[in-house]
Structure 1
Amino acid sequence: MTLTVEPINAAGHLAFVRAQRSVSFLQTPAWAQVKTEWRSESLGWFDGPRLVGAGLVLHRPVPRLKRRTLAYLPEGPVIDWTGDLAAWLDPLVARLRAGGAFAIRLGPPVRTDTWSASQVKEGLADPGVRRLTDMPGRPDPVGVRVTKALRDAGWLPQNPEDGFGAGHPQFKYEIPLAGRTEDDVLQGMNQLWRRNIRKAAGAGVEVTVGEDLEAFHELYVHTAERDHFTPRPRSYFETMVAAMRAEDPERVRLYFARHDGDLVAATILVRVGTHACYAYGASSTDKREVRGSNACQWAMIRDALVAGCQTYDLRGITPTLDAADPHAGLIQFKAGAGGQAVRYVGEWDLVLRPAVYRPFQLYMKRRG
């Protein structure tokens, strides 16, 4: 098989995405409209006249060298990662090199290992276990092979030890949904999650799907102040919702949990094909005892089941299982929902122009 890589328009890219079982929302044409600070293009892999792969490329320019870019494919591209990687990646590299890229960054949507919720629980209770990787996971042979192939081809891993780098997390938490009922998923949760879902219902928490981005953003900013992170502006969410719904009216949903008229939690669910993703969440400091966040999560999981989704993605975790690490609470909370912790191949860079790449790396470190 001889593949070529050529630009494709947004309509062709979207048609390809719709034909796939599962694609990250970061690899949809709409995401280019959200990341307005990057130049973007859609590329297609062709086997003769047939489109067999696609990727959204975000180009980040170098200060004072606008024609030189980091070409970034977040959680992509959408290709056959089980095949001959050189056949897929070599024409991509040639195309982006000719277009002025000084480096290429990929995030293959391929797993390397998974750990069950019970393993996570055991690891958290064992003082001799400090990280997920201290325990034997269930290896994925495709991910193992992709990791080796990238390393052998000169790609450089970009994920730090905690799994969170400048890009997207290498470790995630996911709940498999294929072939399961609501009762199956509920029974897979730990006692605390089930109790909190019942507590929210008993307290009269009502979860609705709505459109009030202003209310979501106000609660999100409150959450950011409490939890000490920098919130995104409201305009970011307005652009995100509008762009994604233009591709598919059901792509994005906003969930609001209210108790006696007070907004206590709000979340955003993004769905592409059979993959449902918890993208953003917010909660009030008051009335935390009514468990609005658990109510929102349960509503999103139930809707994902109705939509025929095979995976409910709770997004990033760190691999720490050390009780003294403040990040341990995140994996403990998510593991309570059942499911599994997953390590992906992670993000990798191929350096095309070292003289530009090295100062760019220094610039990014100074920016923090």
Structure 2
Amino acid sequence: MSFRLEPITREEHLRFVTARPSVSHLQVPSWGDVKPDWRAESLGWFDQGGKLAGAGLVLLRPLPRTKRYLAYLPEGPVIDWSAEGLERWLEPLTTYLRGLGAFTVRMGPPVVARRWSADAVKAAIADPGARRLGDVEATVREPGADDIAERLHRMGWRRTGTGGEDGFAAGQPRYVCQVPLAGRSLEQLQGGFNQQWRRNVKKAEKAGVKVVRGDQEDLPTFYELYVETARRDRFVPRPPGYFQRMWQALTAEDPDRMRLYLAHHDGEVLAAATMLTVGEHVWYSYGASTSRRREVQPNNALQWRMMCDAHERGAAVYDFRGITDTLDEDNHLLGLLRFKVGAGGQAVEYLGEWEYPLNRVLHKAVALYMARR
């Protein structure tokens, strides 16, 4: 079966996404509004009967002083990745984007390759001979993932180095932490916590930490804590307008697409986090906290409230997003891995991001420039 690819309306795109149990929040139409430096376009794959069979949000980043673009489909497109003849999906995509002036196409297949249970990750961290999670025997190897990677290689796609060795490089993370919710009670979820997590949730309750839903007016409070977190954890914070734009764009598409939670104690907000939902998939998106009064464990209380609300909504998975691949005790991100996995989460490896050069000269020149920055 061959597919016809063409632009689709936001309404068509949203209907397609809404009909599926899980689609990345980076592949909903409104995500293009969050990225004003990129030109966004919704694309659809139509089968021979004219039925919309796949969709993708492509972001186009112009090369300065040219009419050439980097075309990027973060955690997409939403197609049948397990289908035979993967080229019938991807060749129309590269042909169409070449016509728009793209010199490179980058995408992130939403295909899981391997999973490690919380116990397996804990054992790997304790093993002095283990250097990286990817070198440790997985609890589950997803069938078909290696075949998809091999087919992409044969078609000329190459895995990028982004989202790379510590899980937090440019691009989307290859390794994430997910807590399965489907078919589990809240008691079973809490039973999956490690001892430290259970103790901290009880500490927060006893100390009187209260977690409440916020609104757009609370974003400045979140941002103040976020900037403090960026200084403490050594990352460059996004500008405040990013979160205002994110709230306005996502909630305009779906009033419950984005939520803000705030952890209060004795009249002060100690921690805050954003939560995103598409179908049965819920993501912890951005977190922020102060160093003050950490002994009352506001972060554990915040996450537990968000997991409870996700469970109440019927979510199948609570996604902590990116984790580090390194198991080095000297890496400051290892503590974040311990925190996320301590909630009973699985470490999950996706196929990563892949690139296809449409103009090899420009592709190589831009890659060389980025490497020297």
What TM bracket, shorter-length normalisation?
A: over 0.9
The 5 A counterparts of 1:83-94 are 83-84=83-84, 85-94=86-95
- Which residue does the alignment assign to 1:313? 319
- 1:76 matched to 2:76: yes
**1:38-60: CA deviations, max 9, x gaps?**
11111000013111110000011
**1:65-122: CA deviations, max 9, x gaps?**
2x11111000000111110311111111111111111110010011000000000111
- 1:205 matched to 2:209: yes
Query: Structure 2 length as normaliser, TM-score?
Result: 0.96
Partner Cα separation in structure 1 for residue 198 and residue 69 of structure 2: 48
Note the C-alpha offset of 1:167: 0.5
- Which residue does the alignment assign to 1:283? 289
- Which residue does the alignment assign to 2:18? 18
Partner Cα separation in structure 2 for residue 126 and residue 228 of structure 1: 27
Q: Secondary structure at the match of 1:141?
A: coil
**1:119-153: CA deviations, max 9, x gaps?**
01111111011111222111112322211111121
- Which residue does the alignment assign to 1:182? 186
2:335 to 329, 334, 348: 329
| Contact 2:176–2:322 (Cα < 8 Å) also in 1 | yes
| Contact 1:110–1:142 (Cα < 8 Å) also in 2 | no
Moved more, 272-281 or 155-164: 155-164
1:147 maps to amino acid:
A
Q: Secondary structure at the match of 1:29?
A: coil
The 5 A counterparts of 1:139-158 are 139-158=141-160
**1:175-212: CA deviations, max 9, x gaps?**
01110111111001100001101100100000000111
- Which residue does the alignment assign to 2:368? 362
Partner Cα separation in structure 1 for residue 59 and residue 315 of structure 2: 28
Q: Secondary structure at the match of 1:318?
A: coil
- Which residue does the alignment assign to 1:221? 227
Note the C-alpha offset of 1:331: 1.2
- Which residue does the alignment assign to 1:111? 112
- Which residue does the alignment assign to 1:196? 200
1:142 maps to amino acid:
G
- 1:243 matched to 2:249: yes
Partner Cα separation in structure 2 for residue 55 and residue 100 of structure 1: 18
- Which residue does the alignment assign to 1:342? 348
Partner Cα separation in structure 2 for residue 224 and residue 27 of structure 1: 26
- Which residue does the alignment assign to 1:294? 300
Q: 1:149 to 1:79 in 2, by over 3 A?
A: same
Moved more, 91-100 or 50-59: 91-100
- Which residue does the alignment assign to 1:8? 8
- 1:42 matched to 2:42: yes
- Which residue does the alignment assign to 2:59? 58
- 1:162 matched to 2:166: yes
| Contact 1:268–1:279 (Cα < 8 Å) also in 2 | yes
Note the C-alpha offset of 1:2: 1.4
**1:253-305: CA deviations, max 9, x gaps?**
10000101111100000000000000000001100111111111000000000
**1:8-67: CA deviations, max 9, x gaps?**
0111111111111111110011000000001111100001311111000001111222x1
Partner Cα separation in structure 2 for residue 181 and residue 243 of structure 1: 33
| Contact 1:62–1:360 (Cα < 8 Å) also in 2 | no
Partner Cα separation in structure 2 for residue 163 and residue 200 of structure 1: 30
Partner Cα separation in structure 1 for residue 135 and residue 31 of structure 2: 36
Q: Secondary structure at the match of 1:149?
A: helix
| Contact 1:171–1:317 (Cα < 8 Å) also in 2 | yes
Number of corresponding residues: 366
Query: Structure 1 length as normaliser, TM-score?
Result: 0.97
1:337 maps to amino acid:
A
| Contact 2:167–2:325 (Cα < 8 Å) also in 1 | yes
Q: Secondary structure at the match of 1:268?
A: strand
Ranges in structure 2 where 5+ consecutive residues have no aligned partner: none
Q: Secondary structure at the match of 2:150?
A: helix
Q: Secondary structure at the match of 2:144?
A: helix
| Contact 1:81–1:142 (Cα < 8 Å) also in 2 | no
Q: Over the residues paired in the alignment, what is the CA RMSD in angstroms?
A: 1.1
2:143 maps to amino acid:
P
| Contact 2:165–2:326 (Cα < 8 Å) also in 1 | no
